Amino acid sequence: MLFNSIDFAIFLPIVFAIYWFALSRNRKLQNAFLVIASYVFYGWWDQRFLTLIFLSTVEDFFVAKQIAKTDDNKKRRRWLSVSLIFNLGMLGFFKYFNFFAENFANAFSLFGMEFSVPTLNIILPVGISFYTFQTLSYSIDVYRRKLEPCNDFIAFTAFVSFFPQLVAGPIERATNLLPQFYKERVFNYAKGVDGMKQILYGLFKKIVVADTCAKCVNPFFANYQDYPGADLIIASILFAFQIYCDFSGYSDIAIGTAKLFGFSLMRNFNFPYFSRDVAEFWRRWHISLTTWFRDYIYIPLGGSRVTLAKVIRNTFVIFLVSGFWHGARWTFIFWGLLNALYFLPLLLGKKNRKYLNTVAQDTFLPTPKELLQMLGTFTLITIAWIFFRAEGIDKALNMIAKCATDIVAHPASLLLCFRDVYKIAIIIVTVFVCIEWLGRKSQYAIENFLTTKPTALRWTMYYAFIIAIILSFGEKQDFIYFQF
């Protein structure tokens, strides 16, 4: 079920009403109802997916109990291995089987040997990369004794399948979300209003900004060879905003929806395109995934408390794994490698933690230096996004080469951005960037927007968002991260 669908617009109020009006006095019934609602939400795509998430839930629930039952470290490691093998094995089969099979065969062809490996017609379950990482974090945290195993199977099932963040995150830690299912929940009007505002802003990001950009981006990436470099540069910039608004829009809707039910999810984006270097960007982009890799891979490898050579190794491992997590394509792996190379000079110069505050914290506008830093960082990230979006590394390289040679030969061609095909998208993106800048010190841009102004002005803004969403609503576009 898509957040940006009529189905969800009907589903959410019904679930909300039953949850608060019929079950508000019984936490266990609320949890059981959330499980049912979440399974309906997830099964809306394909009922077969429900078997996988249920098996993952059962396996980690009982494995964690076995881990906690003994103080024998060998036994604890063996039970943890069961969780790792099961979850990563399931993820590997559905997401990477054909990738490895095809590349195994290609490796033989390099030596002039024909080797045929069968591939399977596998349907990738929606959100499998997200909920497997979520359940893995639970087993690992129990193993590390950071968390007591859950004794309430319904509460644990609700934690794993919680529908707002099930399909595309945020990837919640059991230490944050699971205890919230143990507590009595009372409806908080202020939190509900805040949730509705965040849902509204998330829908604006997705339907108005991301989907409008997609209409310009898709034709150019599909047939890049038919367009001049100026068009491709503009399409690449618009894709940068498409993927940001698409993914952070989903996160906003997820976090806002969770608030309606009395839950607090972790922040997933912190205005990443206002970053002054690549290290700052990665502290602000997909925070739930980057911190997952930090805590469960980077630090166990030694983190930054080892020799410089190992720190560099650990950094490249994280970025390459991040690329591979996104999908079974070499373009994703190259995208991860490119970001690691961006990160390397900052690491060597010990400047990777230079910018920990908000840009222009005490001023309205950035300094010229900060503006150039943000533009430079955005340019590097946009180049990397070309590899992320392209169908092959060769096509991405050809596209970049075409952009460079055409602009050098015809610099004035960038004025193409004022053509009708781009005009609406560029106006929308410009307005969006202004809103983001004004709200950059908040959890999400409109959290405190116009709160000190007259109520009529604030509601005018809300209605403007609603009208823009209605006018932009057309053919549903899937969220980009559903494929991961």
What separation in angstroms does the CA of 100 have from each of 72, 103, 324, 328, 456?
Answer: 36, 5, 12, 8, 58
Rounded (10°) CA dihedral 99, 104, 110, 114: -110
The residues, any chain, with a CB within 8 Å of residue 325's CB and separated by 6 or more, are 129, 289, 484
The residues, any chain, with a CB within 8 Å of residue 330's CB and separated by 6 or more, are 392, 393
**Can you list the pairs that 124-127 forms with residues at least 24 positions away whose Cβ atoms lie under 8 Å?**
124/94, 124/95, 124/483, 125/46, 125/49, 125/52, 125/53, 125/94, 126/42, 126/45, 126/46, 126/49, 126/167, 126/482, 127/42, 127/166, 127/167, 127/168, 127/482
AA identity, residue 475: E
Number of other residues whose CB lies within 10 A of the CB of residue 245: 28
User: Cα(30)–Cα(155) distance, rounded to whole angstroms?
Assistant: 10
Q: Which residues are catalytic?
A: 326
Six token digits for residue 34: 């959330």
Residue 443: burial class (beta carbons within 10 Å; 0-12, 13-18, 19+): middle
The length of the chain in residues reads 484
What separation in angstroms does the CA of 323 have from each of 95, 296, 316, 462, 481?
Answer: 13, 16, 11, 37, 13
Of residues 191, 193, 199, 190, the one with CA closest to residue 256: 199
Number of other residues whose CB lies within 10 A of the CB of residue 463: 10
- Say if residues 340 and 315 touch (Cβ distance below 8 Å): yes
Give me Rg for the CA atoms of the chain: 23
